[in-house]
Structure 1
Amino acid sequence: MVIAMKRPELISRILIITGILLAVGAPLFLWARTPLIHARMAEDGGWNPDVIQAETGKPLHLKLTSDDVVHGFAVGQMDMQSVDILPGKVTEITLTFDKPGIYTFFCTRWCGLNHWRMRGTIEVTGGSDIITAGGSSEPASVPLYVSLDLDIDAPHDSPVIPNEKPSAMNGQLLGANLPIDQSLDYYLSHSPYQVFTDLSDTSLTESQKWDAVAYLWQSNTTPESLANGKELYAQNCAACHGENGAGDGVFADDLAEAGEASMQTMEGATDMVMQTPVDFTDPSRILGASPALLQGKILRGGMGTGMPMWGVIFTEEQIWDLIAYIYSFQFEYQK
């Protein structure tokens, strides 16, 4: 028996079936077109692909998977939580960029000796034609270490060091009468040792001078800044520089051995000394460095060492927070 179907009913059924197909097929089509990014340890190729295209204002859908160990994914200078990437699993994320620019994505898990090499770029177009690193359409500001014309590769050891850890609490008792500039600009542009020498004409004892320096350093930071710096340090620095800043992180020995092996294959490099991670608890190394100088070290990285360039990862505020925390290895701050 053949049942005749009225035209309106037929059209209605066709529309329903079409809607179902679109509802099921559209996500599958989008999923199939979403870039799949493979993460491998840097020794085996790193990110693949390592360059991604996007447009401002349009969601960028990504699929992430690991081919070996657990990796992490984050985009520098963006307010986003890092995402873990598990071996054999596919993790999906969506990013939206408000400004054109070249953004750096990187691994947030310490996956191996060359972990810091795991970086890629997202090239975002649209809006302004000005493309800069970090996604800003505004001209980049000149870093303080550049405007001060600092040679960040020159030795900067402090010839005088305190006998014990300087106390900001003790220094606060002297703060009101200190014959030095206590402004932020002075703090950023002077090393602790330079401030110590600026107090040479006072009647303060050597210990009191260092306490005054500790007070100046604490007065130019905040508990929030120190907390943020501590978190950044744990995530990005501790594996090399050590949890307590002593240059004894889990990768410290491997970095030294890798550097020595590579120098043996370089012609004319027999007299070179591979730098191991800096010991932030060594007063002779840190008390001779100004915040501006450390800014340059972090922004540019250590040429010829395993110290990566962080300028495309951290915001300016994050860099100052990290610097504030590094100095806390030298000074006893008031809780």
Structure 2
Amino acid sequence: MRHYRLNWFFGIIAALLVTAAIVVPLVGRIRDEKTIILHGRMAESGGWTPTDLRAQVGKPLHLRLTSGDVMHSFAVGQNVMAPVEVVPGEFSEVTLTFDRPGKYTFYCTRWCGLNHWRMRGVIEVSGEQVEGKSQSPPLYAELGIDIDKPHPSKVTPAAPPSALEGERLLSEPDTKDIPLEYKTQEYYRAASPVDIWQDLRSEGELAVFSDQQIWNLTAALLRAQTAPEMLATGKRLYFENCAACHGESGGGDGVFADDLTNGDMPGMNPEPGHTTSAPVDFTNPETMLGASPALLQGKILRGGMGTGMPYFGPIFTEEQTWALVAYIQSFIIEMENQP
């Protein structure tokens, strides 16, 4: 009997050890891969809950997304992941894995109201820092451009500048000696359209051309710095992020334009003297021909302080910002290859 009891006792111990060997790693894995429920609500009602998430490099972050009011969507800035629909009363699941440490902004891509852009949160990813090139300051800062100051064009064309007409002029003998500097990316990003026009107007061999023809040459040089794919990307980003305020045709007449004109953000408490203002009209020659690509990129990156203009620095990649700039310029310049 005693021998039987010992066998029974050791059998139980062995079974417990086997169970522990299976369960303990499983529990650890479940703990490491726990799912976080992320609630989305309109900004006036709190936005995302929670707004701050943490993850580790190389380890999956599991999320279950749901909405407490209207349809939202979930996306991560500077990431190729397609937005995930967030439906009221339902759950959508997404798993994120990051290969670099840092802070990543998640946001809603559906225009759910005037304060839609405030639906943002941060994922702080920890891990070993990967060596790479240091991040340089944005071009507007390097050039010393005050992006809050008006930069009106003192000269405007009689008709919208045409890149197609400008390219035709570039094939004529009188334009063959145009300095190569005007055809570089560095020059294009730093110079406003009116700067380019004035530089071309000062070239002696171009004296035979009218002011409008010089504007057309300016348009051709701008178009040379774009491509159909670039404009297509810019158009998509514009309609997803800008059209609700600036309008589908860039006229500053989007669905929220009236609410932004000299008003306060509903549900928010702005600082004294900080009110919203009417969205910029991208079809206004005086305004847009005086704005360089670097200035426009700066506005996109940093936003308009005290105006209601959101900042998109943590949302777009650098390539996306230049694509958006090129598309915005197409409202005032006839690019011809616009999608």
TM range (shorter): 0.7 to 0.9
2: distance between equivalents of 1:54 and 1:137? 21
1: distance between equivalents of 2:111 and 2:78? 20
CA shift, 1:149, in A, is: 1.1
CA shift, 1:52, in A, is: 0.3
| Structure 1 residue 229 corresponds to structure 2 residue 234 | yes
Matched residue SS, 2:55: strand
2: distance between equivalents of 1:155 and 1:217? 22
Residues 142 and 261 of structure 1, relative CA distance in 2, 3 Å threshold: closer
* Mapped contact 1:238–1:249 kept (Cα < 8 A): yes
CA shift, 1:259, in A, is: 3.1
Deviations 1:255-293 (A, max 9, x none): 2253399999976x4xx8852111111111111000011
Residues 314 and 113 of structure 1, relative CA distance in 2, 3 Å threshold: same
| Structure 1 residue 71 corresponds to structure 2 residue 72 | yes
1: distance between equivalents of 2:244 and 2:133? 34
| Structure 1 residue 310 corresponds to structure 2 residue 317 | no
| Structure 1 residue 179 corresponds to structure 2 residue 178 | yes
Which segment drifts farther, 248-257 or 73-82?
A: 248-257
Matched residue SS, 1:35: strand
List aligned pairs for 1:125-164, cutoff 5 A: 125-128=126-129, 138-164=133-159
TM-score of the aligned structures, taking structure 2 as reference length: 0.84
Matched residue SS, 1:88: coil
Deviations 1:96-125 (A, max 9, x none): 000000000011000111001111000000
CA shift, 1:61, in A, is: 0.3
2: distance between equivalents of 1:59 and 1:223? 36
2: distance between equivalents of 1:36 and 1:264? 29
Identity %: 53
Which segment drifts farther, 247-256 or 46-55?
A: 247-256
Q: Which residue of 2 aligns with 1:133?
A: none
Matched residue SS, 2:261: helix
1: distance between equivalents of 2:271 and 2:38? 35
Q: Which residue of 2 aligns with 1:294?
A: 296
- Give the number of equivalent residue pairs: 312
Matched residue SS, 1:141: coil
The aligned amino acid for 1:92 is E
List aligned pairs for 1:116-131, cutoff 5 A: 116-128=117-129
User: Cα RMSD between the aligned structures?
Assistant: 3.0
Unaligned runs of 5+ in 2: 1-7
Choose which of 194, 215, 218 in structure 1 pairs with 2:223.
218
Q: Which residue of 1 aligns with 2:252?
A: 247
Residues 190 and 334 of structure 1, relative CA distance in 2, 3 Å threshold: same
CA shift, 1:182, in A, is: 1.5
CA shift, 1:143, in A, is: 1.3
2: distance between equivalents of 1:328 and 1:37? 39
1: distance between equivalents of 2:221 and 2:153? 18
2: distance between equivalents of 1:68 and 1:31? 31
CA shift, 1:166, in A, is: 1.1
The aligned amino acid for 2:157 is P
List aligned pairs for 1:1-335, cutoff 5 A: 33-128=34-129, 138-175=133-170, 177=175, 179-180=178-179, 181-201=182-202, 202-256=207-261, 258-259=263-264, 269=273, 274-335=276-337
* Mapped contact 1:166–1:210 kept (Cα < 8 A): yes
* Mapped contact 1:259–1:305 kept (Cα < 8 A): no
